[in-house]
Amino acid sequence: MRTVEAARASVRARWPDRGAVVQWAVAAFTVALVLTPIVPVVLQSLMGRALYDGIGSFTARNYAGLVTSRTVLEAVGNSLVFGVLTTVIALVIGGGAAIAIGRTDMPGAKLFGELLLWPLYLSQLVMAFGFSIMYGPSGYVTLAAQAALGGHTPWSLYTLLGMAVVAAICEAPVTFLYCLNATRMADASLENAARVSGAGPLATLWHVTVPLMRPALVYSAMLNFTLALELLSVPLVFGSPVGIHFLSTFLYDEGIGASTPNYGLVGAAAVALLAIVTLLVWLQGRLLTNIGRFITVRGKATRPGRFPLGWLRWPVAALFALYAVFGVLAPLTGLALRGVTSFLTPLVPLWEVWTTQHLRMIVSSESYVRSVVNSVAISLFGGALATALVALVAIVTQRSPFRHARALEFVALYPRAVPGLVVGLGFLWAMIVFPPLGVLHNTIAILVIAFTMRYLPTGLGAVSPALLQVSPELDRAARVSGADWWTTSWAVSLRLLKPALFSAFALLFICFFKDYATAVFLFAPGSEVIGTTLLTFWIQGDTGPVAALAMVQVLLTFVFVYGVRFAFGVRVYG
Amino acid sequence: MADVVIESLTCRYGDVTAVDNLTLTIADGEFVTLLGPSGCGKSTTLAALAGLDVPQGGRLSVGGEIFFDAASGRNLHPEQRNCGLVFQSYALWPHMTVQANCEFPLKLRKVGAEERRERVKEALELVEMERFADRYPHQLSGGQQQRVALARTLVYRPRVLLLDEPLSNLDARLRERSRVWLSQVTRQVGLTTVYVTHDQSEALALSDRIAVMNQGRVSQLGTPQEIYDHPADPFVADFIGSSNFLEARVAEAGTGGRVVVELPDGERLAALTGKAFAKGEPVLVALRPERLGISDSPPAGSGGNVLKGRLTGRSYLGARTLYLVDVGGRPLRVESHRSIAGPDVWVEVPESTCVLFPKEGAGAA
């Protein structure tokens, strides 16, 4: 027994507070990460002069300016109308697709389900460019339609409704995924009970299945509205040219474009956006706790059957085929064609305008090549670092005796409420307010940090449910057998979390790779990413190279998404 | 020496007091069972011993070493206590093989590779699982997982063995076999063992002593025999063997521990009891169903207690039959291997099986 006594002593001799050190370090880092961009924005909103002139006296003048500025009020009005329209359209598309694809015998359901998700993998900037190339005033499809209709243009994307349709196609996958999950969780016996009581398939669908989806619809409505409010790409591409301004474009224009920006007003507008989105996210949280009351998960999963559509099968499938072709494939095809033509129009055959000049240009131009390299590096290494942070935050908040675990969780999830533009602006100003951060100026490190802050909740969302599945008794067994908290976390919890961490990494990779809104304020020559390069050159009117670069991004995304799925069985979404 | 001393242990969750001022001493090498219904505080006591829950008050020590002392604020982390705990869910680490599961605690103790292999082999042999060393937990049946969980705990020779309902996830037949096996293994290793269960037959079969717990307190501490034959209060009598209870009043206080009580309908029962009762005192009479006799005709010349009743129901249990008898308006359960037709039946109540308790709250009423 002497060896055991000696071993006991060695277990005891270990510094007892190693776990506490890790917990406090993770907490301190997370709090610093989340507060760094928010503090300067709030400070600036309360100051009369620019932050880099030093901290001056505080004033409420900026907020007064905000509510009296016609430009701002108009922008807020436009943002709200745009948000509502986008939400309604996204709900119809996403909810309808969830039922048709998830619950009926529509032919090709699997394929349509896959195509419908594509906009989620891709940057909304790329989608917006695609739509512009195909459906803009001189777009390929627009011109073809004009030719067929005798000069009449049946649509315009340069209206609030037009922009809302584009944004809704980008956001519909969110609704689709939430509703699909809801229908999967649904208890089949509820539907069977309706059938046995005499309801036909369609009556059951309408009276039982759809009402059961209601909580998911309400939740995704909130989410879509929030996303629409902070969306930059679509308003910038379609609104700015015709003078329709939004909160997001106001921030962008004033923060970057204006020669003498009104910093105080920009700060106040950013805080206003932050406040609105915080309120919405808080409401989502409330809704989610309430949704829990409607979901009954049975021990034995009885997968609900599929409703036979009968003769409606083919018309419904045709509807989804049209959506997939015109809503998803056409914009991407447009980009691809624009990238290899000197100009794209139905009036001239493609082979006459065929060119490799755009491709050659992005390969030979330093800033194009650098932005691709930077994007890949940020997504790979930054994504891995962010995944490590997500793992640490998850085990500290869920699996440690850390006293402030709940508070830490709240802080770590708060970036959900911080729009990408505000994150970018905040880090930009933070480098001014906190001089030590200045060394990160013009490096891709600041982008990695900003992306990590913004997508921390996304990563946690992928990891937390998985950690909940790991029985706490496994931790407790390790503790009793002689492992301290850190050894337990390392040897047991994190090991069991490996698949979830893989998924989180894949998700963060995609988020980092397609981001443009966070980066617009932070990039500099040398630290460009694909998103910022696309935006810069689009504004300069270089549509061809932009289309070619966008296709590079799309192809790399698909290689990654389908690569991890086939190689590791990791699904980025769904 | 690894005696376990629990002094005034108190555990609270918010407003709920799970363990209420519990004091219990377990001798070195003794097998003590904490027995009680769910929520009685037995698992909380075990978790407090292992260091997984921090109590609000009291003192815990094992072999003279203080694990927890509310007064001085001393609290050892679970990993510093060298306890062995077998979980209800077994808690085998699913990403490690049986071998790796057992090696992990030894690695933590910096035991060299060779000795590690030796000791894991030894432990797995003890639980007859040496052939499964390379399997993963999900490749094992419930009973096999339970054996591995025990081996993983024994491999580092803990000072005390804590078992939290280790048999409750097994099916009925396997549970019975594992009970016998567990009894043999624990006797063999001779560790001080604290066993938590809600299953009275496990407690009776395995334990040196049983602590019957109710609402965070120990209702009775004693050998299985004592607990069964002389329950300390109505709760114990009901929980172990589910007694019948009849309300009565003391008619003759008597001498030599013999008390005669009168039921509300005037029938009288004689009972042998060690306790003193005053004449006229309201009491509860506890009768174990399996110790009562039942017959179709009045038993001849026994001279003992006999109650006449009507048969109201029966439930065939296989080896025996449970009869429901109405005695003067009160239901009485009787278990017997005899086949009775009824409807008039006679229930024999041996004097020694009548256990009397003072009726609680009688003073107020």
What would the pLDDT profile of B156-186 be if each residue is shown by its tens digit? 889 999 999 888 877 888 888 888 888 888 8
What would the pLDDT profile of B40-79 be if each residue is shown by its tens digit? 889 999 999 998 888 999 999 999 999 999 999 899 888 8
Q: Is pLDDT above 80 for A189? A: no
List the single residue in B with minimal CA-CA distance to A495.
Answer: B95
Higher pLDDT, B361 or B158: B158
Closest Cβ opposite residue A482 in set B87, B109, B115: B109
At A2 the pLDDT is: 38
Is there a contact between B81 and A496 if contact means CB atoms under 8 Å apart? no
CB-based contacts of B133: which residues, under 8 Å, 6+ apart? B97, B98, B99, B120, B121, B124
At A132 the pLDDT is: 93
Is there a contact between B85 and A477 if contact means CB atoms under 8 Å apart? yes
In a mutagenesis test of the B interface, which of A480, A495, A497 is the best target, namely the one with the most B β-carbons within 10 Å?
A: A480
At B365 the pLDDT is: 30
Judged by CB atoms within 8 Å, which residues 2-61 of A form the interface with B? 3-4, 7-8, 10-12, 16
What would the pLDDT profile of B88-121 be if each residue is shown by its tens digit? 888 889 889 999 999 999 998 899 999 999 999 9
Pairing of strands B83-86, B160-164: parallel
Q: Is pLDDT above 90 for B221? A: yes
List the single residue in A with minimal CA-CA distance to B54.
Answer: A401
Tokens for A232, please give them: 């930059």
Average pLDDT of every residue of chain A = 87
Is there a contact between B104 and A483 if contact means CB atoms under 8 Å apart? yes
Same fold, A16-37+356-574 and A75-329: yes
List the single residue in A with minimal CA-CA distance to B157.
Answer: A4
What would the pLDDT profile of A297-327 be if each residue is shown by its tens digit? 443 445 667 778 888 889 999 999 999 999 9
* CA angle at A53 for the pair A51 and A55, rounded to the nearest 5°: 60
Q: Which amino acid is at A90?
A: A
Is there a contact between B52 and A7 if contact means CB atoms under 8 Å apart? no
Is there a contact between A482 and B93 if contact means CB atoms under 8 Å apart? no
Q: How far away is chain A from the Cα of B218, in angstroms, using its nearest Cα?
A: 25
What would the pLDDT profile of A555-569 be if each residue is shown by its tens digit? 999 999 999 988 888
Q: Which residues pair with B325 in a beta bridge?
A: B311, B332
Q: What is the pTM of this model?
A: 0.84
**Angle in degrees, 0-180, between the axes of helices A330-339 and A140-149, rounded to the nearest 10:** 110
Average pLDDT of every residue of chain B = 87
Range of lowest pLDDT (A36-50, A191-205, A235-249):
A191-205
At B302 the pLDDT is: 61
Closest Cβ opposite residue B79 in set A1, A482, A492: A482
Q: Is pLDDT above 90 for B148? A: yes
Closest Cβ opposite residue B93 in set A4, A487, A492: A492
Q: Is pLDDT above 80 for A15? A: no
Is there a contact between A474 and B157 if contact means CB atoms under 8 Å apart? no
What would the pLDDT profile of B183-214 be if each residue is shown by its tens digit? 888 888 888 999 999 988 889 888 999 999 99
pLDDT range class, residue A3, cuts 50, 70, 90: very low
At A434 the pLDDT is: 86
Q: Is pLDDT above 50 for A7? A: no
Higher pLDDT, B273 or B56: B56
At A530 the pLDDT is: 94
Closest Cβ opposite residue A473 in set B91, B111, B115: B91
Percent of residues, chain B, with pLDDT higher than 90: 30
Nearest to B136 by CA among B101, B104, B160, B90: B101
Closest Cβ opposite residue A481 in set B95, B108, B115: B108
Match 């619950």 to its residue by tokens: A103
In a mutagenesis test of the A interface, which of B88, B93, B118, B192 is the best target, namely the one with the most A β-carbons within 10 Å?
A: B93
Q: Is pLDDT above 50 for B21? A: yes
From chain B, the residues in CB contact with A496 under 8 A are 93-95
Q: How far away is chain A from the Cα of B109, in angstroms, using its nearest Cα?
A: 5
Is there a contact between A480 and B89 if contact means CB atoms under 8 Å apart? no
Is there a contact between B156 and A1 if contact means CB atoms under 8 Å apart? no
Task: For chain A, give every domain's residue range.
Answer: 16-37+356-574, 75-329
pLDDT range class, residue A288, cuts 50, 70, 90: low
Q: What is the mean pLDDT of residues A411-426?
A: 91
Q: With residue B61 as reference, give the H or E element that holds it.
A: strand B57-62
Is there a contact between B79 and A481 if contact means CB atoms under 8 Å apart? yes
List the single residue in A with minimal CA-CA distance to B75.
Answer: A16
Closest Cβ opposite residue A12 in set B80, B83, B92: B80
Higher pLDDT, A468 or A376: A376
What backbone phi and psi angles, to 5 degrees, belong to A205?
-60, -45
From chain A, the residues in CB contact with B62 under 8 A are none
Percent of residues, chain A, with pLDDT higher than 90: 50
Contact, A298 vs A98, CB < 8 A? no
Q: Is pLDDT above 50 for A158? A: yes
Task: State the ipTM, two decimals.
Answer: 0.79
Q: What is the mean pLDDT of residues A400-407?
A: 91
- The full DSSP string for A500-516 is HHHHHHHHHHHHHHH--
List the single residue in B with minimal CA-CA distance to A6.
Answer: B109
List the single residue in B with minimal CA-CA distance to A7.
Answer: B109
At A10 the pLDDT is: 39
Residue B166 vs residues B133, B140, B161, B162, B178: alpha-carbon distances, Å = 21, 16, 12, 10, 10
Q: What is the mean pLDDT of residues A502-523?
A: 92
Is there a contact between A479 and B77 if contact means CB atoms under 8 Å apart? yes
d(CA A371, CA A331): 23
From chain A, the residues in CB contact with B89 under 8 A are 471, 473
Three-class SS of residue B239?
helix
Q: Is pLDDT above 50 for A296? A: no
Between A and B, how many CB-CB pairs are < 8 A? 87
Q: Which amino acid is at B72?
A: S
Higher pLDDT, A499 or A570: A499
What would the pLDDT profile of B285-308 be if each residue is shown by its tens digit? 888 888 888 888 777 766 678 888
Q: How far away is chain A from the Cα of B136, in angstroms, using its nearest Cα?
A: 14
Is there a contact between A471 and B52 if contact means CB atoms under 8 Å apart? no
A286 lies within 8 A of chain B by CB: no
Nearest to A327 by CA among A176, A86, A166, A180: A166
Q: What is the mean pLDDT of residues B273-279?
A: 77
Pick one of 2.60.120.10, 1.10.3720.10, 3.20.20.80, 1.10.10.10 as the CATH number of A75-329. Answer: 1.10.3720.10
At A304 the pLDDT is: 66
Q: What is the mean pLDDT of residues A332-337?
A: 94
Under CATH, which number does the domain A16-37+356-574 receive? Answer: 1.10.3720.10
